Amino acid sequence: QKEVEQDPGPLSVPEGAIVSLNCTYSNSAFQYFMWYRQYSRKGPELLMYTYSSGNKEDGRFTAQVDKSSKYISLFIRDSQPSDSATYLCAMSGGGRSGGGADGLTFGKGTHLIIQP
Amino acid sequence: NAGVTQTPKFQVLKTGQSMTLQCAQDMNHEYMSWYRQDPGMGLRLIHYSVGAGITDQGEVPNGYNVSRSTTEDFPLRLLSAAPSQTSVYFCASSIQGVGETQYFGPGTRLLVL
């Protein structure tokens, strides 16, 4: 079982719909959770960052983390064609002894298409 | 600020050739890392560095070398390129560690024939 599972899609929804993207993970040491957006032939850019469990909202985006279920979600409200991209979940335990070492573990990414 | 820059954008190599992928950041970030992105695999960590003079291996380090002589630069060296190293390579940096916002470069597309 891969450490982070993410449905690759594609997920196609009409403009204005609420989008729900999800990841599950197996490593209970993960405590930093991120969502990155990646446009075609570009580098990933950070959308949302959450430490431990809880919700975080930023404009049309809401990130949720449920550590008890090892499940994270990203919701996009009032979706726009410009939201069409690949969304990557990423997580980390913060490194060895919390010293910031090691790296992020990524899901495979979900390809999202917003139809005008 | 230019952020994280990577050169070249695209490179074609023949099997057995060596090359260096350049990564630089102008944000005075201590932590830098290299990932490769392959279809159906997501991004995987190759090497990382928590500061000048300190490097360590990630998930897929075989066939790659790194060094960190300055805070700004973190080059990735392919010693003897293989077709399995065909991928898109991303460099990332953050202020101090992996638990912080990672800023990614635009990537280098590498094709090994």
**pLDDT grade for B2, boundaries at 50, 70 and 90:** confident
pLDDT at B19 over 50: yes
Mutation target for B interface from A30, A34, A50, A102: give the one with most B CBs within 10 A: A102
CA torsion sign for A32, A36, B2, B91 is: positive
Q: What is the pLDDT of residues A40-74, one digit of tens each?
A: 999 999 999 998 888 999 999 999 999 999 999 99
CA angle B94, B96, B101 (to 5 degrees): 35
Instruction: Give dist(CA A87, CA A89) in Å, integer.
Output: 7
Return the C-alpha torsion angle B107, A110, A80, A42, nearest 10.
0
pLDDT recorded at residue A1: 59
Residue B97 β-bridge partners? none
Phi, psi of A97 (to 5 degrees): 55, 25
Beta strands B54-57 and A54-58, pairing class? unpaired
Q: What is the pLDDT of residues B46-93, one digit of tens each?
A: 999 999 999 999 999 999 999 999 999 999 999 999 999 999 999 999
Q: Which of the two residues, A94 and B63, has the higher pLDDT score?
A: B63
B97 touches chain A (CB under 8 A): yes
Instruction: Give dist(CA A116, CA B78) in Å, integer.
Output: 44
A56 touches chain B (CB under 8 A): no
Q: Which helix (H) or strand (E) holds B77?
A: strand B76-78
Q: What is the pLDDT of residues A12-21, one digit of tens each?
A: 999 999 999 9
CA torsion sign for B25, A86, B88, A34 is: positive
Instruction: Give dist(CA B47, CA B33) in Å, integer.
Output: 6
pLDDT recorded at residue B3: 93
Residue of A nearest to B6 (CA): A43
> In terms of Cα–Cα distance, which of B37, B64, B38, B39 is closest to B49?
B64
Residue B24 tokens read as 């630089």
